[in-house]
Amino acid sequence: MEPEPNSRVAQHVRSLPRSGIRDFFAIVAQMPDAISLGVGEPDFVTPWHIREATIFALEKGRTSYTDNRGLRELRREISAHVETHFGVDYDPEDQVLVTVGVSEAVDLALRALLNPRDKVLYHQPCYVSYHPGAVLAHGVPIAVPTRAEDGFALDPAALEAAWEPGCKVLMLNFPTNPTGGTASPEVLGRIAKFACEKDLVVLSDEIYSELTYAGEHVSITTFPGMKERTIFLHGFSKAYAMTGYRIGYACGPADLVEAMMEVHQYSMMCASILSQDAAVEALRHGADSMARMKEQYHRRRDYVVRRFNQAGLKCHSPGGAFYAFPDIRSTGLDDQEFAHRLLREQKVALVPGTAFGADGAGFVRASFATAYDKLVDAAGRIETFVNSL
Ligand code: PLP
């Protein structure tokens, strides 16, 4: 007898909402002349010296497993980098874990920390994997709403209001995907105080930190009482244009890093040695190439924000990351309709805001990690579309 469709799939996996953007981008993939501002990855290829380090690693026959924690050489580089740029010192022996991207680090942290039904607070709109990540670790995700009127900044008062007994973890992401929002030291200080009061473990996803355009990025780990309760998550995908390498890391208190290591060693074992060698090169010599890419993003940001506003779509200037998040409510369309019609009528792909949670309703995400001439073309088409409504 044929099993019922899906009956063999675990309930918590079945409960995950189907991603609307998968269908949407399946359509985009069939349209070769569409301009996609949809994907969250740099349009640059990885800088040549980093690719060369990968080639050299292969030439030298470096094709083995590594220590589960990652190469010692890389952990030392990470520790030095985090101390220099974020002002927190982690022991490379037992407070640093090399992972398969920040994606794996988020999954490991949630699986290592959560007992069934433990609650996870996160601010919304947010990166698409936080909610499912908590569900897959048998936790209960609790979204803290952020408001368009505040530029989607996380209001500590909203965090306090969303808290309930059983909350164990707080996930933060500054600069934020999809809004480009950053948090001021004052706000971070209030969140830190709250995390201490409620004894929360903070997962701080700082993957976009180098791509901060206004002022200095400040990590919540630097606030009193936070190093002991924060797992700092970072990686190479965005700032060094290394998405395909799948390499990231977690730094935190030794007991929590050890627990993540347990899960990692039985699931992933280790990150690819080739990617680890490339990551060493990125940390040692990648600063200049990163700065050059950042300069391009900065220029593109100013351009797309100006063009969205000129087209009548209110758009704040994102403080970080490479996403603009314009308000499309003035068009009378909802974000799904807007994105679908724009794709059909003008062949430009943007991501509907609700893909990042209900609080993204009425907004769309446009990635400006896209070549400048394509942005110019896309901006023209968007303006034509808006004028036609
Ligand atoms: N965290 C955020 C906020 C992201 O936007 C992304 C990718 O878009 C990731 C994590 C995943 O990063 P990685 O490529 O290191 O797995």
Place of tokens 């994997």: 129
Instruction: Give the residues across from 251 on adjacent strands.
Output: 96, 232
Q: What single-letter DSSP state applies at residue 322?
A: T
| Residues 338 and 345 sit within 8 Å (Cβ to Cβ) | no
Count CA atoms within 13 Å of residue 92 on its CB side: 15
Å from CA of 138 to ligand 1 middle: 21
Report pLDDT digits (tens) over 235-260: 999 999 999 999 999 999 999 999 99
Average pLDDT in the chain: 96
**Using 50, 70 and 90 to split pLDDT, how confident is the model at 230?**
very high
Answer whether 205 contacts ligand 1 (Cβ < 6 A).
yes
- Give the per-residue pLDDT at 2: 67
How many whole angstroms from 237 Cα to the centroid of ligand 1? 7
38 lines ligand 1 (CB under 6 A): no
**The pLDDT of residue 4 is above 80:** no
State if residue 336 touches ligand 1 by the CB under 6 angstroms criterion. no
Which pLDDT value is given to residue 162?
98
Per-residue pLDDT reduced to its tens digit, 339-350: 999 999 999 999
Please name which of 70, 79, 85, 11 lies closest in space to residue 260, comparing C-alpha atoms.
70
Q: Which of 97, 102, 152, 276 to mutate to test the pocket of ligand 1 (most atoms within 8 A of CB)?
A: 102
Q: What is the mean pLDDT of residues 284-303?
A: 97
Report the share of the chain in percent with pLDDT over 70: 99
In this structure, are residues 263 and 291 in contact, taking their beta carbons and an 8 Å threshold?
A: no
Average pLDDT on 286-306 reads 97
**Confidence (pLDDT) at 21:** 73
Question: ω before 92 within 30° of 0 (cis)?
Answer: no
Ligand 1 within 6 A of 102 CB? yes
- Written as one letter, the residue type at 294 is K
Task: Establish whether residue 362 lines the binding site of ligand 1, counting it when its CB lies within 6 angstroms of any ligand atom.
Answer: no
| Mean pLDDT in residue range 356-377 | 96
Q: What pLDDT is recorded for position 25? A: 83
Q: Tell me what pLDDT residue 227 has.
A: 98
101 lines ligand 1 (CB under 6 A): yes
Q: For ligand 1, what atom is nearest to the CA of residue 103?
A: 16
pLDDT over threshold 90, residue 54: yes
3-state secondary structure 146-207: CCHHHCCCCCHHHHHHHCCCCEEEEEEECCCCCCCCCCCHHHHHHHHHHHHHCCCEEEEECC
179 CB within 6 A, ligand 1: no
Residue 152: pLDDT above 90? no
Which of 83, 173, 75, 157 has its CA nearest to residue 123?
A: 173
Query: What residues are paired with 324 via a beta bridge?
Result: 366
Q: Distance (Å, rounded) from C-alpha 108 to C-alpha 100?
A: 10
237 lines ligand 1 (CB under 6 A): yes
Looking at the CA of residue 176, tell me the nearest atom of ligand 1: 3
Q: How far is CA 140 from CA 127, 182, 259, in A?
A: 17, 26, 20
Q: Supply φ then ψ for residue 257, to 5 degrees.
A: -65, -40
pLDDT above 70: residue 172: yes
Mean pLDDT of 184-191: 96
Pairwise CA distance, residues 290 & 277, whole Å: 17
Q: What is the pTM of this model?
A: 0.96
What pLDDT sits at residue 3? 67
C-alpha 239 to ligand 1 mean position (Å): 11
Q: Ranked by mean pLDDT, which of 23-27, 214-218, 239-243 comes out on top?
A: 239-243
Quote the CA–CA distance of 146 and 326 in Å, as a whole number.
Answer: 15
**pLDDT band at residue 193 using 50, 70 and 90 as cut-offs:** very high
363 vs 377: CA distance, rounded Å: 21
- pLDDT beyond 80 at 315: yes
- Specify the pairing of strand 348-349 against strand 167-173: unpaired
